[in-house]
Chain A
Amino acid sequence: MQFRKQTLDNGLVALGEVNPQAYTAAVGFFVRTGSRDEGPEESGLSHFLEHMIFKGSETRNADQVNQEFDRLGAMNNAYTSKESTVFWAVVLPEYLEPVTELLADILRPALREEDFQTEKEVILEEIRMYLDQPPFGADEECEELHFAGHPLANRVLGTMESIRAMTPQRMRDYFQRRYRADNIVAVVAGRVDFDAWCDQLQRLCGAWPGGSQPRPIVPPRRHPGFHVRHKPQATQQYVVQLAAAPGCESPQRWVAELAAVVLGDSVGSRLYWELVEPGRAEHAALHYVDYQGGGIFWTTMSCQPQAAQENLRRLADVYAQAIVEGVREDELHRAKTKTKARLVLAAERTHRRLFSVGGNWLSLERYFSLEEELQQIDAVDPEQVAQLLTQFRLDQPTSVTVGPLRPEELSP
């Protein structure tokens, strides 16, 4: 595998992780924009715009775009988070050129009024869909409460009200501000001719304007608390807990990831043995999310309502014990093996390397080869984990719980 990089005059960064052994080529445009870059009138706009990109450019309509991806046999999709909007495709190597052309073309969208109104209905359905699914919006609400007053509090989907009030003009203004060349990273991974691909990018994207404003990074203040949302139709009780964790620029990134695997991986972790294996909870897990300027430890749990209080106590005990005692050498070793094996197996698919390369560049402007990532994992020791757990307190979370229980029936 070989890492390549080139920057166009307008600031667009092109990256490649070239692997002549691969069977496919993956390509993605990573735009450094998400809900944290939205103003008060723009809630949900990054995600809405992601949808509108697929409605076509001046030269292609939506049907043509959809049919062309399928005609190239592309496995393709897009996603929006708080920090990035990513458009990607995996194709056979001979289709890299046409699929790059297609992606670059739709990234200059027409944003037609009629498409805008139809797609607005689709977005509203997407919001309703999540409101019908566990944890019934508790995840977005919990982040909103945890980060209150900080841009990371902004909801990715927005709300029914903010989407209904959205106008094409507001979307065009946002597009002009955020989709500038120097705010975009184009990435390829797999069997590719990097130089030829860069020449193509120069032709396709060389005229895109640069000059974007950098995203201000202010460390967030956290707002611990306990909130109960009564939802009588639900069968189970759902819990979301957010606690402070290192940001993506921190050298403790892998320490935090491994702490989450030891304590809350979906199988074989402390939460698994305490809550899931004994049948006390349907699900219990801890994840680490590394936003810029400050990350989160993200706990999720679901169980029968009558078991919720007892399970909350057990959850708190697992975390309290880890804060006091740290983690054992043997469980950290297993977590490392598991995490490394996941990375190695995932790296057999070109799009997984694409996400890693593009994601690291967007947030850190750094490239890590698979080998470097494995070394960083190996370097973590139990003292670092113990130190991290006293520094970032899992016992001071923001909690939202949704289900049949009323506020007076549950306490932290």
Chain B
Amino acid sequence: MSETIHVRQFDNGLVLVAEPMPWLGSVACSFRVPGGYQYDPPDRLGTAELTCEMVFRGAGDRDSQALIGHLDSLGAQYGESVGTAGAQFGVALLAQSLPEVLPLYADVLRRPWLPEEKLEQAREVVLQEVRAVEDEPAHKVLQELRRLYYPDPLGRPSHGTLESVPRITLEDVRQFHGRFYQPQGAIFGVAGQFDWDQLQRLVEQHFGDWSGDELPQIELQAAGERYRHFEQDSQQTHVAVAFPTVPYRHDDYFPAAVAASVLGRGMSSRLFTQVRERRGLCYAVWASYHTLRDRAAVLCYAGTTADRAQQTLDVMIEQIHHLAQGITSEELQRVKAQVKSRLVMQQESSSSRAGTLVGDYYHLGRVRSLAEVQQRMDCLILQEVNRYLAENPPRVTTVVTLGPSPLEVNLAVP
């Protein structure tokens, strides 16, 4: 893998990270601005989401029909998401259209109309999303798990609540946009087929005179209680469990991530084997590594019939606590093989690589090349993973269930 990764920070703070993948016919961009939900005013939860919903409703000299019509006529695939500390706008398209799509996103991010007459429609879209989660128990139980596990505001659901969203005013949206759609803390990732000199010129031309202030500090509240149950007359009881791990930027990230994979990623993982294959307790069961900048968790999920939910939870907790005893060299080899494949597969996808560029720069202030990750994995030995697990024995801190009746939660380690 021979890779070039370009990084340029502009005078206004904006960072451009780009990786040429000349064997592809496509190019993908991921525009990250700091407008995440951690900055929502506490009584106006959902402001970040509503702002993101509003910026496409007219920008520059195009109304919403013309914006979306233009993206469609370029054959662009695009989407937006709001996270804890940022809002991300992704777009993938054929390489020759890059010069046309950058000015469009400059309009959307810098010059949205935020028109009065579209506010109620956009608000309704956000409220629809709040209601939709109520009908998706697996989604809801994980949303509540993050809310309890992370100190507020880090684990909030991005869409706000049925009470908070109606309180948001157009002035709130305009202020949020003015404050958090700005170059300080903004990261643009570009991967695929492009010319670096031309790309720099385009970004300079469309974003060079953008300006903004330093970002405010966030005040953290205490995390929530250890167990919460949501009563619902559902077919299954949905079980979600979290335990602490180290964030992506930590020196122990690699052993910690390997341990999470052994626990719950793929069909040979311990949770899949013990909960599904051995006992037939559920269809869906997994664990996944989840990171914010300064803290992280392993989030685990299983959905099962009410009368087998207690057994499912007990087996999950037992498997998590048992990890402290270490993993086997066979398990380490399997994770290494999976990571190696995934790294190569990233070279076939410009959008997945563009997202990783932005994520890496946000977490690390630099980008780990695929070769660097490969090398780090190659030299990872069993002792290092097991040393990490012995020094940081996994202990479940937070449990959320949703279903007909609550479970008994015993987090004591035998």
User: Which residues on the A side are within 8 Å of B279 (C-beta)?
Assistant: 118
Q: Is the CB of B337 within 8 A of A125?
A: no
Chain A nearest CB from B229 CB (Å) reads: 16
Q: B304: CB under 8 A from chain A?
A: yes
Q: Is the CB of B135 within 8 A of A66?
A: no
Q: Is the CB of B280 within 8 A of A121?
A: yes
Closest A residue to B130 by beta carbon equals A235
Point out the residue from B73, B235, B277 that lies within 8 Å of A66, measured CB to CB: B277
Point out the residue from B23, B123, B303, B341 that lies within 8 Å of A73, measured CB to CB: B341
Q: Is the CB of A120 within 8 A of B121?
A: no
A338-B72, A349-B349 given; A118·B344 CB < 8 A: no
Give bound CA distance, A122 to B283, whole Å. 5
Q: Is the CB of B348 within 8 A of A22?
A: yes
Q: Is the CB of A129 within 8 A of B236?
A: yes
Q: Is the CB of A118 within 8 A of B280?
A: yes
User: Which residues on the B side are within 8 Å of A267 (C-beta)?
Assistant: 68, 72
Q: Is the CB of A279 within 8 A of B68?
A: no
Q: B65: CB under 8 A from chain A?
A: yes
Q: Is the CB of A341 within 8 A of B341?
A: no
Q: Is the CB of B93 within 8 A of A341?
A: yes
Chain B nearest CB from A42 CB (Å) reads: 21
A129-B303, A132-B137, A134-B136 given; A345·B131 CB < 8 A: no
Point out the residue from A90, A119, A337 that lies within 8 Å of B73, measured CB to CB: A337
How many A-B Cβ pairs are below 8 Å?
Answer: 187
Q: Tell which of A123, A126, A133 has the most Cβ of chain B within 10 Å.
A: A133
User: Which residues on the B side are within 8 Å of A134 (C-beta)?
Assistant: 132, 135-136
Q: B138: CB under 8 A from chain A?
A: yes
Q: Is the CB of A304 within 8 A of B347?
A: no
Q: Is the CB of B135 within 8 A of A72?
A: no
User: Which residues on the A side are within 8 Å of B266 (C-beta)?
Assistant: 66, 69-70
User: Which residues on the A side are within 8 Å of B24 (C-beta)?
Assistant: 348
Contact with B along A52-88 (1 / 0, CB 8 A): 0010000000110011011111110000000000000
User: Which residues on the B side are within 8 Å of A91 (C-beta)?
Assistant: 341
Q: A278: CB under 8 A from chain B?
A: yes
Chain B residues numbered 303-323 whose CB sits less than 8 Å from any CB in chain A = 303-305
Contact with B along A331-360 (1 / 0, CB 8 A): 001110110111011001110000000000
Q: Is the CB of A132 within 8 A of B72?
A: no
Give bound CA distance, A340 to B73, whole Å. 11
Contact with A along B252-294 (1 / 0, CB 8 A): 0000000000000011100011001111111110000000000
**Number of chain A residues close to chain B: CB under 8 A:** 66
User: Which residues on the A side are within 8 Å of B135 (C-beta)?
Assistant: 133-134, 234-236
Chain B nearest CB from A166 CB (Å) reads: 14
Segment at the interface with A among B2-10, B36-44, B74-82, B194-202: B74-82
Closest A residue to B235 by beta carbon equals A128
A23-B348, A125-B303, A279-B124 given; A92·B341 CB < 8 A: yes
Q: Is the CB of A344 within 8 A of B334?
A: no
Q: Is the CB of A72 within 8 A of B337?
A: yes
Give bound CA distance, A267 to B128, whole Å. 16
Chain B nearest CB from A53 CB (Å) reads: 13
Closest B residue to A130 by beta carbon equals B235
Chain A residues numbered 124-149 whose CB sits less than 8 Å from any CB in chain B = 124-126, 128-129, 131-134
Q: Is the CB of A63 within 8 A of B77?
A: no
Q: A378: CB under 8 A from chain B?
A: no
Chain A nearest CB from B411 CB (Å) reads: 25
Q: B251: CB under 8 A from chain A?
A: no
Q: B338: CB under 8 A from chain A?
A: yes
User: Which residues on the B side are within 8 Å of A333 (C-beta)?
Assistant: 73
Closest B residue to A77 by beta carbon equals B267
Q: Is the CB of B131 within 8 A of A341?
A: no
Contact with B along A171-200 (1 / 0, CB 8 A): 000000000000000000000000000000
Q: Is the CB of B340 within 8 A of A73?
A: yes
Q: A277: CB under 8 A from chain B?
A: yes
Point out the residue from A73, A131, A337 that lies within 8 Å of B337, measured CB to CB: A73
Chain B residues numbered 64-118 whose CB sits less than 8 Å from any CB in chain A = 64-65, 68-69, 71-77, 92-94
Give bound CA distance, A276 to B125, whole Å. 8
Point out the residue from B72, B277, B337 that lies within 8 Å of A62, measured CB to CB: B277
User: Which residues on the B side are within 8 Å of A23 (C-beta)?
Assistant: 344-345, 347-348
Give bound CA distance, A91 to B266, whole Å. 15
Point out the residue from A62, A92, A280, A348 that lies within 8 Å of B124, measured CB to CB: A280
Q: B365: CB under 8 A from chain A?
A: no
Q: A233: CB under 8 A from chain B?
A: yes
Q: B383: CB under 8 A from chain A?
A: no
Give bound CA distance, A14 to B74, whole Å. 37
User: Which residues on the A side are within 8 Å of B65 (C-beta)?
Assistant: 273
Chain B nearest CB from A113 CB (Å) reads: 14
Point out the residue from B129, B138, B348 that lies within 8 Å of A348, measured CB to CB: B348
Q: B232: CB under 8 A from chain A?
A: yes
Chain B nearest CB from A260 CB (Å) reads: 15
User: Which residues on the B side are within 8 Å of A233 (C-beta)?
Assistant: 232-234
Chain B nearest CB from A37 CB (Å) reads: 24
Closest A residue to B72 by beta carbon equals A334
Point out the residue from B131, B236, B330 that lies within 8 Å of A282, measured CB to CB: B131
A73-B337, A121-B280 given; A304·B131 CB < 8 A: yes
Chain B nearest CB from A387 CB (Å) reads: 24
A54-B267, A69-B268 given; A122·B23 CB < 8 A: no
User: Which residues on the A side are within 8 Å of B281 (C-beta)?
Assistant: 121, 125
Q: B375: CB under 8 A from chain A?
A: no
A132-B234, A134-B136 given; A69·B267 CB < 8 A: yes
Point out the residue from A122, A128, A279, A345 that lies within 8 Å of B276, measured CB to CB: A122
Q: A46: CB under 8 A from chain B?
A: no
Q: Is the CB of B68 within 8 A of A74?
A: no
Q: Is the CB of A302 within 8 A of B132?
A: yes
Q: Is the CB of B128 within 8 A of A341?
A: no
Q: Is the CB of B120 within 8 A of A92?
A: no
Point out the residue from A21, A122, A123, A235 that lies within 8 Å of B134, measured CB to CB: A235
Contact with B along A270-294 (1 / 0, CB 8 A): 0001001111111100000000000
Q: A210: CB under 8 A from chain B?
A: no
Q: B205: CB under 8 A from chain A?
A: no
User: Which residues on the B side are within 8 Å of A281 (C-beta)?
Assistant: 128
Give bound CA distance, A293 to B137, whole Å. 37
Contact with B along A348-376 (1 / 0, CB 8 A): 11100000000000000000000000000
Q: Is the CB of B338 within 8 A of A73?
A: yes
Closest A residue to B127 by beta carbon equals A279
Contact with B along A14-36 (1 / 0, CB 8 A): 00000001111000000000000
| Contacts beyond the supplied A132-B235, A268-B72: 7 A-B pairs with Cβ under 8 Å | A54-B267, A70-B266, A72-B337, A233-B233, A279-B127, A281-B128, A341-B77
Q: Report, nearest first, the 5 A-B pairs whose CB atoms are least far apart.
A: A341-B75, A279-B124, A73-B341, A121-B280, A282-B128
Pairs A–B under 8 Å by Cβ, sample size 29: A23-B348, A24-B341, A24-B345, A63-B273, A66-B267, A72-B337, A73-B339, A73-B342, A91-B341, A92-B341, A122-B276, A125-B280, A125-B282, A132-B236, A133-B135, A133-B136, A133-B138, A134-B132, A273-B65, A278-B121, A278-B124, A282-B125, A282-B128, A334-B69, A334-B73, A337-B73, A338-B75, A342-B75, A348-B25
